[in-house]
Amino acid sequence: MTKQEKVSIIGVPMDLGQLRRGVDMGPSAIRYAGISDRLEALQYEVEDCGDIEISRRHSVHSENTNLKNLKAVAEASYKLAEKVDKVIQSGSFPLVLGGDHSIAIGTLAGVTKHYKNLGVIWYDAHGDLNTAETSPTGNIHGMPLAVSIGLGHEELTGIYGDSPKVKPENIVIIGARDLDEGEKALIKEKGIKVYTMHEIDRLGMTKVIEETMEYLKEKTDGVHLSLDLDGLDPRDAPGVGTPVIGGISYRESHLAMEMLAESGMITSAEFVEVNPILDEKNKTASAAVALMASLFGSKLL
């Protein structure tokens, strides 16, 4: 893991980036599953910053756009960016708990204040590269990566500083298996590196992470991990809003986190889309906590 001894936990109880209720309880479920205790056992100083306040005043259909809850998502993203920025300024590692994946807009906006060439590992079944034009739903949780490379509504791309926040060539998507047509076209157009489940099956997770680290090592000055629990197979993480069968296994995900921990490359992280209402006995939140522990250096022996 990175050299920081201090980890700051930021909860984002956001469910406005999509329409399935319950994902706003994700941060509580992850805390309940014992994230602070796990990190303290690994000798980190843990500060729980509580939750970003999510306003529901604007949680209505926005005028002149098909984007759902645009103003509320933009407002929450700005608050989150500000908090993440302050945490990094204080010398602490920001660990953000979601909430739906729209929160990555705010996380990345805050993180990129501190890096000229931030790398992003997007561990997800989806590309989250839709725009208002390509989105089948208008749900902003399918757009954060597009927003971060400067594509999308200006109320989102312009949050907390200039756009784009991230260069397409500094992104690696791992675990993709459900991409919309517009996303496929954008991936080809921008040359974004993607390891679909096909590549993971053919190469194995070890090779995928080795190649990812090699790809990002020379050209980035920090790497953000954005892990959507639906990147895992629904058998291992059933409590997600958009499950896609045939995903990455629990063990493969641990291996990935362990390798990233050994590399010392990861400088910020978020774990998103834990929905306790759809879960089985907090299984998904528990999986998230176990993966976070591996990312922060927990070993089997």
- The CA–CA distances, whole Å, from 247 to 58, 234, 271 equal 35, 7, 16
Per-residue pLDDT of 267-294, as tens digits, reads 999 999 999 999 999 999 999 999 999 9
**Considering only CA atoms, which of 294, 298, 291, 288 is closest in space to residue 33?**
288
From CA 152, how far away is CA 140, in angstroms rounded?
10
pLDDT at 66: 87
pLDDT at 284: 98
From CA 208, how far away is CA 280, in angstroms rounded?
30
Question: Of 15, 51, 228, 233, which one is the catalytic site residue?
Answer: 228
From CA 69, how far away is CA 15, in angstroms rounded?
10
- Average pLDDT over the chain, rounded to an integer: 95
pLDDT at 19: 83
Segment 195-210 shows an average pLDDT of: 98
| Residue 101 falls in the annotated catalytic set | yes
Segment 89-116 shows an average pLDDT of: 98
Question: Of 85, 101, 178, 258, which one is the catalytic site residue?
Answer: 101
From CA 71, how far away is CA 79, in angstroms rounded?
13
Segment 154-169 shows an average pLDDT of: 97
Question: Of 15, 75, 126, 183, which one is the catalytic site residue?
Answer: 126
| Residue 279 falls in the annotated catalytic set | no
| Residue 262 falls in the annotated catalytic set | no
26 with 13: CB under 8 angstroms?
yes
| Residue 114 falls in the annotated catalytic set | no
| Total residue count of the chain as it appears in this document | 301
- Burial letters 83-104, b for 16+ CB under 10 A, else e: bbbbbbeeebbbbbbbbbbbbb
Q: How much of the chain, in percent, has pLDDT values that exceed 70?
A: 96
Checking if the pLDDT of 133 tops 80, the result is yes
From CA 249, how far away is CA 162, in angstroms rounded?
37
| Count of helices and strands (H, E) across the chain | 11, 8
Checking if the pLDDT of 20 tops 80, the result is yes
Checking if the pLDDT of 4 tops 80, the result is no
Q: Which fold has domain 6-295?
A: Arginase; Chain A (3.40.800)
pLDDT at 301: 76
| Residue 230 falls in the annotated catalytic set | yes
Checking if the pLDDT of 296 tops 60, the result is yes
Helix (H) or strand (E) holding 89: helix 70-89
Query: What is the separation of C-alpha 180 from the centre of its chain, rounded to a whole number of angstroms?
Result: 19
**Considering only CA atoms, which of 256, 254, 226, 231 is closest in space to residue 244?**
231
Q: Which residue has the higher pLDDT, 57 or 45?
A: 45
| Residue 128 falls in the annotated catalytic set | yes
Question: Of 24, 141, 254, 270, which one is the catalytic site residue?
Answer: 141
Helix (H) or strand (E) holding 123: strand 118-123
Per-residue pLDDT of 141-152, as tens digits, reads 999 999 999 999
| Residue 100 falls in the annotated catalytic set | no
